[in-house]
Structures are given as structure tokens and as C-alpha cells.
Structure 1
Amino acid sequence: MELGISMFGDLHVDPVTGHIQPAQDRLRELIEEIKLADEVGLDLVGIGEHHRAEYAVSSPEIILAAAATVTKNIKLTSSVTVLSSSDPVRIYQHFAMVDLLSGGRAELVAGRGSFTESFPLFGYDLRHYDALFEEKLALLLQINKSAAINWEGRFRPALVDQQVYPRAVGNQLPVWIAAGGSPESVVRAARLGLPLVFAVVAGTPIDRFLPLYRLYKAVYQEYGHSMDTFQAGMFSHGLPGENSRSIADYYYPLYAAQMDRIGKSRGWSPFQRTQYDFGCSPKGAMFVGDANEVAEKILYAQELLGITRFTAHLDVGAPSHKHLMKAIEIFGTRVAPQVRAALAK
């Protein structure tokens, strides 16, 4: 099983003044954090896309390209790319360049986007939310297979005898699909034979997603795809620390404040400590605790769901750079070896 981290570049928001951390500072921190993740032997790092004031990253591939120059082994992936409001031609070109810079370590995780700010920003109608993703995914997959493109769709001009360059190392990029719990997303990924990662987050019980993982595996096999290439991932919020109670108490106000900022625009109730504590419990989907607790929960999820990749998303609510560096160190030097040793048995 692959073990990695992801981050969105959350900016610290002062709870009293409302002052937001300069994006420039957070971007510099991100590069240091990715470099450390590579040094401690993690398998992958993902960077997400947002278009809001409290996030530093609007284009994951820019950060991944910078990270390619300071890392040696770690896979560099988006987490996620909002494909519906992007141009698949440019997305392939950008990630192919990351792939070339990194010596073949780039991946692309495509999603529809749980945040919708990018749609009006880039001139797309949210009424076409599903159709945009279907069409753009089909074009991306065609480009990924061949440099020569003839294509026509609803949402962009046709491509007639066009060539898409540069090409990724080996011509094709690994393309994953991200899902938040929609059965339609599961069936689409399985039908196409694409690896799938679920966002299992906040106070959600891990076992709630078991039917969706089973559906994915069943449909994947139904369409004749080889289990030799089967990949299923899990993306969950977390923050490993030295002491379980200390890290949980430190992280709660930061996490709750971010949930409430997002929740204001979505009609959510205020985030409660009871939700948080359940999420941090053995069956909940928050990986906050000491190394042993986090490792045991990853192993529980792997046994229950059959995942081949686990990604701990670390910077919801903007923990300090010091805490993030410590979390990455613990995840790479204590959690990952424990998980790998247990799975080797």
C-alpha cells in the first residue's frame, strides 16, 4: 500500500483580526514540507486546487513543478485538479512538464470539485456540472493515449488534426478519479478502469464507505479490467503528533474554524467537538493522534476497505509550519514503517 500526504495550502486566519497569512509565505513552507516528505520516504504528495482567499494554491501543477526540482523519489500528484472548469489540453501539457521535470513521477487526480468558485471564474455554467466533467474527462483520456487528436464536443472548439506536446515520460500519465461518495462517480471510474480515491473526511465513520468500495471493485471486474492493476485510495484529514491528547487539543480549534468558514456558504451547522472526537476515535475518519493510533487506523481501513493507497491530508485550518513538519516526520519515520511492517506479514 502506498502512503502519502496532501495539502491545499491553507492560509492561517487570525481569529481576532481576520488577517490572512500572506500566500507567498505559505508557498515557501509547502516546498519545505514536500521536500521533507520525500526525505522521510513517503510514497506521494498531493496538492489541491482552490480559488478562495484562505488558500494559497490555485494551480497544483505550479507547486508540483517546483517540488520536482527539490525531490528525488516521491510521486507528485494533484489532490485534486478540478477538471470540469479546466482545459484538458493545457492540463495534460502542464502535468506532462511536471512529469518530465521529475523523471516520470507526476500523476493527475481529476475531480468535479466540491468547491465551485472556479466555474464562474473561468466562465462555466454550474448547470452543466456533470456534463462538463464527462466531456472533459473523455478528452483528457484521449489526449493521454495519443498526441494526435481529432475531437468535437459541446463545451470547447473542436480539435482537428492537432498535436498535443510535450508528452509525459512513457507518453501517458497515471490518471486517478476522485469521488466524495457519489455512486455515479464510482461506476464511471470502474467502467473506465481508472484508479479511484474517496474523500473519507471529518466525522464520517470509515465503514460508511464500504458499500462504495465494494461497488467499485465489482463494476471494475464486471467490465473486464485486470485486478493486477486495481487501485483504490482513501483520502482523509489528519495530523499525527507526539501525544494523542495534545495534538487533538491543538488541532481542534483550527480545524473547527475552517469547517465553519466553509460551512457558512453551505448552510452547515457549527462544527462541534463531539463530531471531532468521534472522527478521532478508532472508527472515525480523522487520523489525529500519536504514531501508533494513526498506524492502527490505517491498517483498519486497509483491512476493511481493501485500499491500495492512503493519503493523509494535513493542513485543514492551517496548522503551523512547525506542526506540519513534525507531522510529516512522524508519518514518514514512525507511522509508515509500522504500517509497511504489518502489511509485510
Structure 2
Amino acid sequence: MGKEINLNSGIEIGIYTFGELLCDPYTGQLISAKQRLNEIIEAAKLADDAGLDVFGIGEHHRLDFAVSSPHIILAAIAQNTSQIKLISATTVLSTVDPVRLFEDFATLDIVSNGRSEIVAGRGAFLESFPLFGYNLDDYDRLFSENIELLLKLNENERITWKGHFRSELKGVDIAPRPIQQRIPIWIGVGGSQESAERTGRLGEGLMLAVLGGDPIQFKPLVEAYRYAGLKAGHNSKKLKVAIGAHGYISKTSQKAKEEFYAYYTNYFKSFMKNGGQLKISQTDFEQMAGPNNSLFVGSPQEIIEKILRQHELFGHQRFLAQIDIGGLPFKKVAKNIELLATKVAPVVRRETKKGC
């Protein structure tokens, strides 16, 4: 088994990034991919030094993103950190060879001394399908076959396997083996109940993106996941839930909203609506950041209250915030890491500690 989440210490708190490259909406400055990657590595080091639990990096294959190979950046981070868990967020499993993926993260596990994890998903963008020679008509079949193979690779040093989309494996060694007996694997899910149920049947962790609206709308997905997992015979302790969200923290609620509005709308316009020109008004933004919605923007106390409200809904074991979006300058990212680690995480861990 991989390293278990210690429920006696409360839920894990961490951050993740997609490494997008966007102009700062105030200055118009666009940093280079090199600077963006350097800042990602530095952010991970700050998060580790501050005591956060998890750092994740997503995968994209576009010029407006700096990261196409998360495991390489995570390996660089491993050499600059000592405790923080290192995860993909997410790996586009439909268009990657599961053998290569497992070996990459097993190697990361070794160089990080047992800190690697995989979040496998189908991705919000589709550019990897033509790039790597896959047919979009096989979208679901590719994911189903690849997750099946990945889980087998995680359990066995030698494997015999036959599928449809890759060459047959006949008693081959899968090397290297990770330090952990089993690399923790999570499956990334958006709003699909079918995906949540499949994740439960597989008995893997559920990584749920809760990016907008009242979080209560996602509760049926978590319930479906746990029900399917228990029905399939999995121990309830194995059925872990992680929540991912957009966030920004400042000294006061109003200051946070004033500082983040332009960056969030910049990100939203560029990616959330597939490049559309939808404009979010200040009033809309205030509502999206309200106490009953899923955008984590506010004072440390407001962020604490939102995480705890979601914990009442989902009973999740991990919360991850994406805090570097929309061209946000690194100085503000660093300040958010500090506030999340020193003002938010200790309270959330205490309040969610098992037995409280």
C-alpha cells in the first residue's frame, strides 16, 4: 500500500498548478516558460518549508501552458523539498502509455523517497489526442483500458496483459519498483456520476474538481462514489476523497476580492469558457465568492469556514487550492502559500482531526 493519509492529524491541505502562461492583466507582461517553471519549483519549496501536505502539477500540451511533463518538474521539486507529497494534477491517462507513466512515477517515488502520487483523468482539453495519434472516438475506451492496466502495473512486478490499444505484455518486468509498496492513485472527476461510480468500483481515491456553484450539488457524486465502492467490497478507509478548488487569500475579504478579480476573470475568459469572451461582472464575482459558493476567495477565516463547510458535506481527506491563476505575480502566490499554511491549515487540521 502507499502512504496512508493520517486522519488523526485532520485533512491534508495543499496546492496545485497547471502552469498556464497568461499576461498579467494589469501590466500586460507575459513571463517565459522558463521563469514559470522556476517559479513553480520555488512555490513547491515554499509550500514544503511552510508545512503544506501536497503539491500537484497538471499536464497540458499547448503553448499557453508551461508543463507538458509533470513528472520531470516534480522530480526537480523532489530535490528541493523533503516532506511534501508530489502528485500529477492530472495526468491525461487516455493518451499516455500506462507502462511509461508507471515507470516515470515509480522513478519519481525513488528520487523523492516515497512521495509520488498519480491523479489520472481524461483532461479538460483534447490536444493530446491528435498529438499522440489517438482517436477522439475512443475517448472512453482508452481511459477504461488504460486505468485497468495502470492499476495492474501498480500491483505486480511482472505482468501478462492484453488489450486493444497497445501491444500485448507477456510476462514482462515492470521496473523500477517504487519505494512505496503501491503508488497512491486518484481518479480525477468533474461532474460525471458515472465516472464517480467507476472510481468507487475500482477502489481508488476520488479527486473532485469543485470549481463553481454551491458545493452541495457535488454531494451526490461523493455519495455515489462511496456507495459504489462499498458495494464492490472495498474498505471504507480506502475510499478517499480530495477536493480541488480555485482560491485566493488576503488579509480581509474585500481586499482579497479586489486583488483577485482581474486575475480570475483573466483566467476564466481564457480557459474556463474555452477562449470565449464572457465577461464576469464585479457583482457576479462577489456572488461566486460568497459563503455558499465554491470560489475560495476571502480572508483566512472565510477560507477556513468554506473548507469546513465542504468537509461537512463531503467528509473529504484532502483539500487542494489552485492559487496561481490568471497571470498572478509570484509575490502574491508566495503570500498565499504563507497564509494558507500558517493561518488556514492549522485551524482546519485541528477542526477535522479524527474524534473532534
> Distance between the aligned counterparts of 1:279 and 1:168, measured in 2?
42
Q: Displacement, 1:343? A: 2.2
> Distance between the aligned counterparts of 2:317 and 2:27, measured in 1?
43
Please tell me whether the aligned partners of residues 8 and 47 of structure 1 are also in contact (alpha carbons under 8 angstroms).
yes
Could you say which residue in structure 1 is the equivalent of 2:317?
308
Please tell me whether the aligned partners of residues 263 and 270 of structure 1 are also in contact (alpha carbons under 8 angstroms).
no
Stretch of structure 1 that moved more, 295-304 or 274-283: 274-283
Please tell me whether the aligned partners of residues 13 and 54 of structure 1 are also in contact (alpha carbons under 8 angstroms).
no
Give the TM-score normalised by the residue count of structure 2: 0.92
Could you say which residue in structure 2 is the equivalent of 1:207?
216
Q: Displacement, 1:258? A: 1.9
Please tell me whether the aligned partners of residues 24 and 326 of structure 2 are also in contact (alpha carbons under 8 angstroms).
no
Could you say which residue in structure 2 is the equivalent of 1:191?
201
Amino acid at match of 2:189: A
Q: Displacement, 1:56? A: 0.9
Q: Does residue 177 of the first structure (1) align with residue 187 of the second (2)?
A: yes
Match of 1:41 among 18, 42, 51: 51
Please tell me whether the aligned partners of residues 200 and 239 of structure 2 are also in contact (alpha carbons under 8 angstroms).
no
Q: Does residue 228 of the first structure (1) align with residue 237 of the second (2)?
A: yes
Could you say which residue in structure 2 is the equivalent of 1:340?
349
Could you say which residue in structure 2 is the equivalent of 1:53?
63
Could you say which residue in structure 1 is the equivalent of 2:287?
278
Q: Does residue 4 of the first structure (1) align with residue 44 of the second (2)?
A: no
Q: Does residue 328 of the first structure (1) align with residue 337 of the second (2)?
A: yes
What SS class does the counterpart of residue 107 from structure 1 fall into?
strand
What SS class does the counterpart of residue 116 from structure 2 fall into?
coil
Number of residue-to-residue matches in the alignment: 344
Unmatched tracts of structure 2, length 5 or more: 1-10
- Per-residue CA deviations over 1:143-198 (Å, capped at 9, x if unaligned) read 11112121121111112221111111134211100100101111111001111011
Moved over 3 A (4+): 14-20, 263-275
Task: Give the alignment of 1:99-114 within 5 angstroms.
Answer: 99-114=109-124
Amino acid at match of 2:120: A
Could you say which residue in structure 1 is the equivalent of 2:3?
none
Q: Displacement, 1:252? A: 1.3
Amino acid at match of 1:302: H
Match of 1:163 among 145, 148, 173: 173
> Distance between the aligned counterparts of 2:18 and 2:314, measured in 1?
25
> Distance between the aligned counterparts of 1:198 and 1:275, measured in 2?
24
Q: Displacement, 1:16? A: 8.7
Q: 1:266 to 1:326 in 2, by over 3 A?
A: closer
Q: CA RMSD, aligned part only?
A: 1.7
Amino acid at match of 2:156: S
- Per-residue CA deviations over 1:59-93 (Å, capped at 9, x if unaligned) read 11111101111111111001100011111111101
Match of 1:241 among 250, 256, 269: 250
Could you say which residue in structure 1 is the equivalent of 2:36?
26
Q: Displacement, 1:249? A: 1.6
Please tell me whether the aligned partners of residues 75 and 107 of structure 1 are also in contact (alpha carbons under 8 angstroms).
yes
Q: Displacement, 1:15? A: 4.7
> Distance between the aligned counterparts of 1:14 and 1:327, measured in 2?
17
Amino acid at match of 1:155: F
Q: Displacement, 1:31? A: 0.8
Please tell me whether the aligned partners of residues 107 and 173 of structure 1 are also in contact (alpha carbons under 8 angstroms).
yes
Q: Displacement, 1:221? A: 1.2
> Distance between the aligned counterparts of 2:227 and 2:277, measured in 1?
34
- Per-residue CA deviations over 1:120-142 (Å, capped at 9, x if unaligned) read 11111111111110011111111
Q: Displacement, 1:271? A: 3.5
Amino acid at match of 1:70: N
Q: Displacement, 1:266? A: 6.5
Q: Does residue 141 of the first structure (1) align with residue 151 of the second (2)?
A: yes
> Which has the higher relative contact order, 1 or 2, with Cα contacts under 8 A spaced 6 or more apart?
2
Stretch of structure 1 that moved more, 240-249 or 209-218: 240-249
> Distance between the aligned counterparts of 2:194 and 2:213, measured in 1?
20
Q: Displacement, 1:270? A: 3.6
Could you say which residue in structure 1 is the equivalent of 2:6?
none
> Distance between the aligned counterparts of 2:124 and 2:107, measured in 1?
27
Match of 1:317 among 321, 326, 330: 326
